[in-house]
Structure 1
Amino acid sequence: MNHRADQTVEEQLVRVPAGEVMLYGNLTLPEGSHAIVLFAHGSGSSRHSSRNRYVARLLNEANLSTLLIDLLTLDEEVIDARTAQLRFDIGLLAERLVAATDWLTQFPDTRQLRIGYFGASTGAAAALAAAALRTDVVGAVVSRGGRPDLAGAALMRVQAPTLLIVGENDGQVIQLNREALAQLRCEKQLMIVPGATHLFEEPGALDVVARLASDWFERHLVPLA
């Protein structure tokens, strides 16, 4: 993980069409980057998630581009806040991720970049389901405290190397990740972060997540010099 903390990179607001709706995202492109990581947020979260923004900043310092995008519109977020249904609509979330992926392959500033996914909570299932639909484009997937089990039958169709990261004290989710790991047919690994709970709020826990994710993306997305 080669940090470039001295490099100041500007974040730009982008609009991404997804069917009949428009999604908003924050795009950061470090100079000379060869790969971009598309974030799939979890239950009730958005592109403003402090945890994902922290991980994204550390990935930027490692010269990886990032796109943090809202997979739900503002109206849908209002509905989801009341019903909590849309955050579990993995098909819808995966469809939105695919739309964002296709946009990245066409947008002039990103079309030359290799694409990876970083999914958190239910967003991890959406990332895996989308990766199964774009096997020729998505080069790596990382899940943080995710629910990959919710991707169902799509797990067996994922071809992108997949890293599952879970906190040591997140027992039920560890078991769900182990079950999902067994169904994956791609290169795969499960990493358990010592002392961490589901949200990785413990001091240094997110730094470990960012390091593991950065190493995985660099290994599978960045060409050897």
Structure 2
Amino acid sequence: MISDVVAVPADRLTLSGDFVVPEGARAVVLSAHGVHTSRTHPRVQALDGELHRAGFGTLSLDLFSETEARQAEPAQGQPVDVEMLGRRLVAAVDWLKAQTDTRALPVVLFAAGAEAAVALRAAADLPDRVLTVISWSGQPELADEVLDRVRTPVLFITGGQNPEAVPAIRQAADRLEATRELADRVPAPHSVREVRTASHRFDDPDALDRAAELAQEWIDERLPSG
């Protein structure tokens, strides 16, 4: 198993990430952090551990440089520059495709909160280089202007104890479905799954385990057979 703290060049900056690739990995999951989630949070690390045990590599990436993080707290009411952060996530996909251990692996974008909107933005720019996007407790409405360009399958996981988030997520999923139909393309699956016991933060360990299970099942369904 490869396990290292890495420096990923993006947008003329260096972004820090935790890079883990189990032997025989079947895909690599790129998770974005720094706005509403932290790569060092115990629940994020628990999710990464579940993914490793399922045979997936992970790159948990801070979307802000250490200097930016010291200068400001983007989560405290400041607008989220989804376009800028999306470019950084695209650069991280480029970085993964340049690494010996992950260049041949399908890439999954995985994010919560505002970072989920960033992942959708990056997926819109990389229709042929991202296997799927998984948004857990995400805010897809922040990516409203690019939803029409998303051609990548998306799984939206929401908490049943956070009912106010469900309408926005379902609206985004419906718009993605309509976009595929208008484009006259083979429909790629999009789904909204609810973890009934989960709050907005997925703090309950059982709810977190269920979210990890849903993510694993979704990725497995997207991977080529054999």
Q: Would you call these one fold, judging by a TM-score over 0.5?
A: yes
2:190 maps to 1:198: no
Pairing 1:167–2:169 present: no
Could you tell me which amino acid in structure 1 is paired with residue 61 of structure 2?
I
Distance 2:126 2:77 in 1: 25
CA contact (8 A) 1:122 1:148 kept: yes
Residues 35 and 114 in structure 1, CA contact (< 8 A), matched pair in contact too: yes
Distance 1:27 1:102 in 2: 14
Q: Aligned letter for 1:156?
A: D
**Equivalent residue for 2:129?**
137
| Pair 1:150 & 2:142 matched | yes
What percent of counterpart residues are identical?
38
CA distance in 1, matches of 2:218, 2:72: 32
Runs (5+) with no aligned partner, structure 1: 1-8
Give 1:119 shift: 0.9
Aligned-partner SS, 1:135: coil
The correspondence for 1:217, drawn from 202, 211, 219, is 219
The superposition leaves residues 85-121 of structure 1 with CA deviations (integer Å, 9 ceiling, x where unpaired) of 6672111211110000011111112101110111111
1:95 is aligned to 2:87:
yes
Tell me the equivalent position of 2:13: 21
AA in 2 matched with 1:57: G
* Contact preservation (8 Å) 1:42, 1:122: no
Superposition CA RMSD, Å: 1.7
Amino acid at match of 1:105: K
Opposite residue 142 of structure 2, the aligned amino acid is L
1:55 is the counterpart of 2:47: yes
Distance (Å, rounded) in 1 between the aligned partners of 2:163 and 2:71: 30
**CA offset at residue 209 of structure 1?**
0.4
Q: Are 1:44 and 1:81, in contact at CA under 8 Å, matched by a contact in 2?
A: no
Aligned partner of 2:183 in structure 1 is none
TM-score using structure 2 length: 0.90
After TM superposition, the structure 1 stretch with the greater mean CA deviation from structure 2, 133-142 or 73-82, is: 73-82
1:125-181, CA deviations, whole angstroms, 9 ceiling, x for partnerless residues?
000000000111001110010001111121121111100000011122111101111
Say if 2:181 is the partner of 1:208.
no
Amino acid at match of 1:210: A
Q: Which residue of 2 aligns with 1:6?
A: none
- Per-residue deviation, 1:202: 2.0
AA of the residue aligned to 1:63 = G
Please give the secondary structure, in 2, of the residue aligned with 1:88: coil
**Shift in Å, 1:44:** 4.0
For residues 165-219 of structure 1, the C-alpha deviation after alignment (integer angstroms, 9 at most, x for no partner) is 0001112211110111111134200001112110111240000000000111111
Question: Which of 32, 35, 47 pairs up with 1:40?
Answer: 32
After superposing on structure 2, the runs of 4+ consecutive aligned residues of structure 1 that deviate more than 4 Å are none
Are residues 1:106 and 2:80 paired?
Answer: no
**8 Å contact 1:41–1:122 — kept in the other structure?**
no
With 203-212 and 152-161 compared, the bigger mean Cα shift is at 152-161
Q: Which residue of the partner structure matches residue 110 of structure 2?
A: 118
Q: Distance in 2 between matches of 1:72 and 1:129?
A: 17
Mark the runs of 5 or more structure 2 residues left unpaired by the alignment.
Answer: 181-187
Task: Determine the C-alpha separation between the residues in 2 that align with 1:52 and 1:83.
Answer: 17
Aligned-partner SS, 1:138:
coil
